Structure 1
Amino acid sequence: MSEETRFAADVYGDRLERAVAAMRAAHLDALLVTPGPDLRYLLGSAAQSFERLTCLVINADGATPSVVVPKLELASLQGSAVSDLGLRVLDWVDGTDPYKLVRSALHAGSRVAVADAMPALHLIPLAESFSGLPVSATPVLRELRMIKDEAEIEALRRAGAAIDRVHARMGDFLMAGRTEAQVAADIDRAIQEEGHTEAAFIIVGSGPHGADPHHEVSNRVIQRGDVVVIDIGGPVEPGYYSDSTRTYVLGEPRGEVAKRIAELERAQAAAVAAVRPGVTAEAVDAAARAPLTDAGFGDAFVHRTGHGIGLSVHEEPYIVAGNDLELRAGMAFSVEPGIYFPGEWGARIEDIVVVTEDGCESVNQQPHGLTVL
């Protein structure tokens, strides 16, 4: 992992300090983090999780954190903030017990929290050595990761601009007579050409397939008159995701397609307009639903309005009924109402927004309405 794939070391130093403060507030004594989005958030390390234990150990007393790592995987820490921050590296070789190293790095106290990405392969032997069962670190790490710092927001802006450029090229890919799979292959290449490290997901839902929100791609031949849902995204360095959906039609829209999608566009705009600090997540969801219900097809909107995004495609906060979480500046999430008519067609409009001090900023700028190709 090169210097270009992470933020400056002081960004990670600040995150570790905030993690310690959050642990103290939660009355936790230690935090154990294995490879995954949480480790990347705290250290800028994209190390993978294998059968050999890699684990960041943070003590609530503020002592220098330790990283337990297999000697043969020391290279996985290169380019992370470990050396810049002066963290202790405790390496181990096959045939020795890495869990003893973790225990040796723990200070006084028995309230140990583990990140939710820790495999059971490591959680069980670690738990057996603690005086009490570990607890989930999700409440602590969720709070940290939900509020994006300026470096993260800028990464999300870059990701949003990159996926916008892919949507702007859709007229080159999406044509009658081609299969969904052929279109997806072109989109895959374009996603990488426009600055992503990979395509994390591609949905090409043409005609009746568009009525399945989680349809991916198939060998269906796209036909003239089809409504097509294109939902695409992927990570840009240092690992922050794009996610944007637009709806297209091949030729002039039939029947009430244009009218219904115009109502969807109004619903998406209403939800974005509702986003500001102090508003609850469920209120934004309700703002998206009201116009569709008033138009007579609220039942066609069958999923939540949005999900948080960052180092994971789906993370908190979730914009859904029943979530009374109050929005705060720095939260980032999708606003993506959709309408689906089984056996016929579907449509969805999705932007990523970042909550600001007095509203929100959308990182996606492509036109929202039905695009005729």
Structure 2
Amino acid sequence: MTERLDRARLLAGQQGIDALLVTPGADLRYLTGYAAKPLERLTCLVVTQLGSHLVVPGLERAAAEAAGVTMPIVTWSETEDPYALVAELLGSPDVVAVDDQMWASRVFALQEALPESGFVLGGELVSALRTVKEPAEVDALRDAGAAIDRVHARMGEWLRPGRTEREVGADIARAIVEEGHEQVDFVIVGSGPNGASPHHEVSDRVIGAGEPVVVDIGGTTAAGYCSDSTRNYVAGGEPDPGYIAMLEVLQRAQQVQREYARPGVTAESVDAVGRQVIADAGYGHLFIHRTGHGIGQETHEEPYIVEGNTLELEPGMAFSIEPGIYVEGQWGARIEDIVVCTEDGIEVLNDTPRDLVRL
């Protein structure tokens, strides 16, 4: 963690930032190893050119130490003002950067404690560190990918006609933990027309025989890294031929994107090559979201694989490739893999079947 803090300090200096303040969330865990609870009591990492301190409520010191925090820990009691304590540690900085997800109440309290300082968002600074994964982070993402693959491989245990999406989703959630995750982040079971809603979760709808079912699932491992994978299923019969034709187009598009992605190409161009395949087949207006998102200690982070993002891919960047086609009132399909950019291409971290899985 010391190296990460040193790099954050270097970037802050290059950007004219005197202090970086980070409250509980993925940025704090990335920089300190401490997955602090987002309580009403202030926990705040303070990074300046002179060093780093972690400000925590007195009752949270033991948790911070147990997480392996080695920097000086500054505690405050229930009757103290933690914002005044942060201001005392900072002195009179000209520019203070705060993490993008800091609660508004905390931002206002810090501005009141530091009335002469200017405040800016610090998310881009930390994102610049987090976007390119270290080898240990890639290993953690491999483990997460393998764990969610094991859940998909068990889908035949639960997904069958006559059961509701909610019943199937509950079984999947239990398996996500059983197969190696510490927590369940999301479970989407979209049967029939519900599959046309990309962020549908579960409902009491009964799954019918021969209906396409979109299953998009993910969790977080004990190491703090996320999984996310989508596959398409059918049970108890054959789906409509129109669905099969649509899914074949989607498979080609996702394969083209996987074969194209490599260092030096832009994030938006990965989106474009798959979108063109779908458009050429007449489904372009039904691909209604970006191709993908970065992944690491958060399910969604930089880099985003979307039109307008001219960022060039680099080795170590991890992201999803997940084109989808959605026909409102009928069905939908999405194929999602997590990949990591390598020196000459990508490594795909999910290897369950990408064609329609018949149960």
The answer, yes or no, to whether TM exceeds 0.5 is yes
Give 1:46's aligned amino acid.
A
Report whether the alignment pairs 1:24 with 2:24.
no
Contact 2:253 2:277 in 1 (8 A): yes
Map residues 192-231 of structure 1 onto 2, 5 A cutoff: 192-231=177-216
Which of 30, 49, 52 is matched with 1:41 structurally? Answer: 30
Show the counterpart of 1:121: 105
1:220 to partner: Cα distance: 0.7
Partner of 2:325, secondary structure, is strand
Contact 1:69 1:90 in 2 (8 A): yes
Give 1:189's aligned amino acid.
R
Show the counterpart of 1:367: 353
Give the whole-Å Cα distance in 2 for the aligned partners of 1:105 and 1:252.
66
Partner deviation per Cα, 1:221-255 (whole Å, 9 max, x = no partner): 11111000000000012211100000011222322
Contact 2:258 2:346 in 1 (8 A): yes
Show the counterpart of 2:340: 354
After TM superposition, the score normalised by the length of structure 1 is 0.93
1:304 to partner: Cα distance: 0.5
Partner of 1:94, secondary structure, is coil
Contact 2:214 2:334 in 1 (8 A): yes
Show the counterpart of 1:170: 155
Give the whole-Å Cα distance in 1 for the aligned partners of 2:88 and 2:117.
16
Map residues 122-137 of structure 1 onto 2, 5 A cutoff: 122-130=106-114, 131-137=116-122
What is the RMSD of the two structures over their aligned residues, measured on CA atoms? 1.2
Partner deviation per Cα, 1:59-90 (whole Å, 9 max, x = no partner): 12xx331111111121230332323xxx1111
Partner deviation per Cα, 1:7-52 (whole Å, 9 max, x = no partner): xxxxx11111111111111111111111111000001111112121
Q: Which runs of 5+ in 1 are unaligned?
A: 1-11
Which of 131, 139, 142 is matched with 1:157 structurally? Answer: 142
Which of 55, 59, 63 is matched with 1:72 structurally? Answer: 59
Partner of 2:216, secondary structure, is strand
Show the counterpart of 1:56: 45
Show the counterpart of 2:328: 342
Report whether the alignment pairs 1:257 with 2:243.
yes
1:111 to partner: Cα distance: 1.2
Which of 322, 326, 329 is matched with 2:312 structurally? Answer: 326
Partner deviation per Cα, 1:181-221 (whole Å, 9 max, x = no partner): 11001101110100011211000000010011111101111
Percent identity over the alignment is 54
Give 1:73's aligned amino acid.
E
Partner deviation per Cα, 1:270-307 (whole Å, 9 max, x = no partner): 11112111111110000111111111111111111001
After TM superposition, the score normalised by the length of structure 2 is 0.97
Paired residues in the alignment total 357
